[in-house]
């Protein structure tokens, strides 16, 4: 039963990797399941967010909003209230 659960977990990790677009160089095994989980967590928390932030930055620059906020820094809290992040 424990082996079956481990196989289910490995299958789930493999599925998550494929959905996330992560390439796993090796198959998920009981020995590397934790490492795979860490790789996927890093991807989800860091890499995916970095791409989203880069996209937001491009929009701000193309729309010249970044220049507006540089000239009017007092407007930043109105657009990006800090309380929303905590």
Question: pLDDT tens across 24-58, in order?
Answer: 656 777 777 788 788 888 887 888 888 888 998 89
Residue 74 binned pLDDT confidence (cut-offs 50, 70, 90): very high
Q: Token digits for 78?
A: 């109105």
Q: Are 76 and 69 in contact (CB under 8 A)?
A: yes
Threshold 0.75, pTM exceeds: no
| Residue count of the chain | 86
Cα(83)–Cα(78) distance, integer angstroms: 11
């Amino acid at each position: 039963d424990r082996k079956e659960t481990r196989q289910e977990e490995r299958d789930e990790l493999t599925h998550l990797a494929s959905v996330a677009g992560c390439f796993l160089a090796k198959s998920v095994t009981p020995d590397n399941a934790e490492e795979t989980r860490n790789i996927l967590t890093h991807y989800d928390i860091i890499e995916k967010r970095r791409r989203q932030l880069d996209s937001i930055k491009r929009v701000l620059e193309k729309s010249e909003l970044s220049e507006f906020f540089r000239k009017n820094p007092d407007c930043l809290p109105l657009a990006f209230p800090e309380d929303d992040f905590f």
